[in-house]
Structures are given as structure tokens and as C-alpha cells.
């Protein structure tokens, strides 16, 4: 395939747009067999979390020419509109490694030691893997994954809501204003770790301009506010002051804090007590479910419940599509059980 967008035979009306990274995952899960060289990345986990609750989703990302075409075909077959995925005319190293010794511990470094710990042969496709460091995003230089305004079809702007998953600083400053040029009225954003540091403090207003829902992990939020505040609700207020209607603080298996800035309400939403097989992508799936729930009710608490259920379905299996095969009625049953456990904060 030549560089450019992935094309469908027709262009259906889209309700949602999701932008994010696509990766090649190498996962040693909590339970079960290793998932080696499988589809991953913030984009497809967030989009799948959204599809658990709703449909009609367009995907926006950049990948190299070496990204498996059969995976892009599977995204199409799953019902995602992939015309916003730009295939670049060069290879891009999209490998991602994670090992989970237990449900609450994630190891991102030294894959050789992790495979040795489990007495597993080291996979050849992971040879030469560059371990992630504490990389800081650039304010000026686009990266291989930086999304540009012309990367997706103009009809994507006819959607009504969008989620921007972790990418990089330049993508996150560009995309909200670009998406606002059409009919999109609700934008949620999950920040990238590469700019959630005190060094970027003065740049955060540029990221939040046009964003309705800011959904960050507690770890990233505390990193941004390091030296300024240790109070989680004070941090939420600080983010909301830049125009966000809702601030969500994701806390993994401890659930999420939700701050409704418009109505000055706060909740603690627990995680659904799922059996954790593979936590990869759970936070992204939460964001997808949250956006679907918010567009349905405009109630942040109810939206967080949808997010929690999407995350619970994701962690019970391996890969981004596990939750899409949930039995009919399971989502509603879990929602009812979890709703009774929400507490004001």
C-alpha cells in the first residue's frame, strides 16, 4: 500500500473520532500465555473501550510502512473507520513491551530478564528493543507519530465527539482546535507523560484549550504538579480553571476520582472487581467508555461508570478486542452493581 490514508469503499457518518498511538505489543500478562507481537496502542484500546458502549468510530493515527496490514484490515472488519490512519513511507519502530508480575505491578524495562524469569525464549521480533526512558516531548520538532491536520478526511469533522489519547505535545496542542472546526462539541483528552512535568507547566493552557474532559492517571497528574501541590482535588481544580468541565483522575484498580467543575461535585468511582488477566490498555479503555457515557447522559458520574465497565472487560482478557465479545446484558449488570458503590468525595 502506498503512503496515505486507509480507505473504505464508503464513508459512513461517524459519531466519534479517536486519535492516538498504534503499537506492536509484546506482553507478559498476569495470567495466561504471552501476547507477542499483537495489535496495541492507546488508539485501539480507547476505541475498543468506546465501542463496548457505542459504535461509529473513526480512527486517527500515524504508522510506518512496516505496521502489519492484516491488523489494519482487522480494525476495518471490527467496524472501525480507518481512513484517518496515515501510513508513512518509512518504517517506524512501534514495539511496546510490558510484563506484569502481578495485577498491580508493571515492568517496562529489561525484557530479557522478564522472559528469563518465566523461563521463556526471547522473541526474535523484540531483539534490539529500545527501552523507554523518561523522555520529554519536544515543543517544536514533530515526531514520527505527530498527527497533522491533513491526516484525516474532512468528513471526520462531522462527528460530534472526540477522544485524544496519549500521543505527543504537538499533536495535543493541534488536535482540539482542528476538531473544533467541524461539528465536534465534546473533546476528551488523556495527556502524554512526555509533557506532564513541571517543565511544561506554562504550556498546559495550550493543551487544554478547547478540551471539555481532562482524563489523566494519578501518576501523571502528580508529576505535573510536583512541587506545587499534593492535594488531588486541588490539582483537579487547577486543571479545571483552564476551562475543562470535567476532570477525571484514573487510579487503576483503585478506581477513579471525578470532578464536575460545572456543578462543583466530586465522586469516588470504584473499579469493577474483575479478574485481572492483562491490565494493558485499561486506562485507555476507560477513556473510551467515559466518552460514550458522557455523550449519552452528560452526567460525569454515569460516564465514569461506563468507563469502569469498559476497563473491567479489557483486563479480563488479552488484547484490545476482548471486551467487544461481552455477553448481552453483562454491561448493564455490572453498571447496576457498581452504581451502588459510588461515593461522594
Please provide residue 316's backbone torsions phi and psi, each rounded to the nearest 5 degrees.
-80, -5
> For residue 335, is pLDDT > 80?
yes
> For residue 1, is pLDDT > 70?
no
**Interval 223-278: pLDDT, tens:** 999 999 999 999 999 999 999 999 999 999 999 999 999 999 999 999 999 999 99
Q: How far apart are CA 266 and CA 300, in angstroms?
A: 10
Domain architecture of the chain: domains with CATH: 4-22+42-92+135-344 (3.40.1190.20)
**Interval 80-107: pLDDT, tens:** 999 999 999 999 999 999 999 999 999 9
Judge whether 167 and 23 are in contact, CB under 8 Å: no
Q: How far apart are CA 125 and CA 43, in angstroms?
A: 22
> For residue 7, is pLDDT > 80?
no
Judge whether 86 and 153 are in contact, CB under 8 Å: no
Stretch among 53-57, 192-196, 208-212, 284-288 having the lowest mean pLDDT: 53-57
Residue 73 DSSP SS3:
helix
Q: How far apart are CA 97 and CA 129, in angstroms?
A: 9
The whole-angstrom distance between residue 279's C-alpha and the CA centroid of its chain comes to 13
**Interval 171-206: pLDDT, tens:** 999 999 999 999 999 999 999 999 999 999 999 999
CA-nearest of 54, 151, 36 to 99 is 36
Q: How far apart are CA 219 and CA 19, in angstroms?
A: 22
Mean pLDDT value of segment 108-129: 96
Q: How far apart are CA 221 and CA 279, in angstroms?
A: 20
DSSP string, 11-39: ----SEEEE---EEEEEE-SSSS-EEEEE
DSSP string, 50-66: HHTT---EEEEEEE-TT
- In the chain, pLDDT over 70 holds for what percent of residues? 97
Banded pLDDT at 328 (limits 50, 70, 90): confident
Q: How far apart are CA 322 and CA 95, in angstroms?
A: 20
Q: What is the mean pLDDT of the chain?
A: 94
Residue 107, Cβ density class (10 Å: 0-12 exposed, 13-18 middle, ≥19 buried):
middle
Amino acid at each position: 500500500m502506498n503512503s496515505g490514508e486507509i480507505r473504505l469503499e464508503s464513508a459512513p457518518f461517524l459519531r466519534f473520532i479517536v486519535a492516538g498511538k498504534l503499537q506492536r505489543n509484546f506482553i507478559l500478562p498476569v495470567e495466561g500465555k504471552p501476547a507477542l507481537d499483537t495489535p496495541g496502542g492507546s488508539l485501539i484500546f480507547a476505541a475498543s473501550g468506546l465501542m463496548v458502549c457505542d459504535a461509529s468510530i473513526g480512527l486517527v493515527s500515524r504508522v510506518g510502512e512496516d505496521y502489519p496490514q492484516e491488523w489494519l484490515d482487522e480494525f476495518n472488519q471490527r467496524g472501525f473507520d480507518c481512513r484517518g490512519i496515515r501510513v508513512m513511507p518509512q518504517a517506524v519502530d512501534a514495539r511496546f513491551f510490558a510484563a506484569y508480575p502481578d495485577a498491580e505491578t508493571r515492568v517496562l524495562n529489561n525484557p530479557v530478564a522478564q522472559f528469563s524469569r518465566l523461563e521463556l525464549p526471547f522473541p526474535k521480533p523484540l531483539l534490539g528493543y529500545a527501552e523507554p526512558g523518561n523522555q520529554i516531548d519536544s515543543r517544536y520538532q514533530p515526531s514520527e507519530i505527530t498527527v497533522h491536520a491533513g491526516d484525516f478526511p474532512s468528513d471526520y469533522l462531522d462527528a460530534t465527539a472526540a477522544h485524544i489519547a496519549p500521543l505527543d505535545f504537538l499533536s495535543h496542542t493541534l488536535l482540539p482546535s482542528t476538531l473544533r472546526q467541524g461539528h465536534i462539541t465534546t473533546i476528551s483528552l488523556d495527556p502524554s507523560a512526555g509533557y506532564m512535568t513541571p517543565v511544561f507547566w506554562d504550556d498546559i493552557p495550550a493543551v487544554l484549550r478547547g478540551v471539555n474532559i481532562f482524563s489523566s492517571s494519578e501518576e501523571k497528574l502528580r508529576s505535573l504538579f510536583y512541587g506545587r501541590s499534593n492535594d488531588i482535588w486541588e490539582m483537579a481544580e487547577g486543571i479545571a480553571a483552564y476551562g475543562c468541565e470535567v476532570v477525571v483522575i484514573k487510579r487503576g484498580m483503585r478506581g477513579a476520582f471525578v470532578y464536575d467543575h460545572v456543578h462543583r461535585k466530586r465522586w469516588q468511582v470504584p473499579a469493577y472487581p474483575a479478574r485481572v488477566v492483562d491490565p494493558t490498555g485499561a486506562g485507555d479503555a476507560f477513556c473510551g467508555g467515559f466518552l460514550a457515557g458522557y455523550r449519552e447522559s452528560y452526567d460525569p458520574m454515569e460516564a465514569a461508570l461506563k468507563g469502569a465497565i469498559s476497563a473491567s472487560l479489557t483486563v479480563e482478557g488479552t488484547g484490545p478486542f476482548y471486551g467487544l465479545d461481552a455477553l448481552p446484558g453483562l454491561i448493564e449488570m455490572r453498571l447496576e452493581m457498581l452504581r451502588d458503590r459510588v461515593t461522594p468525595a
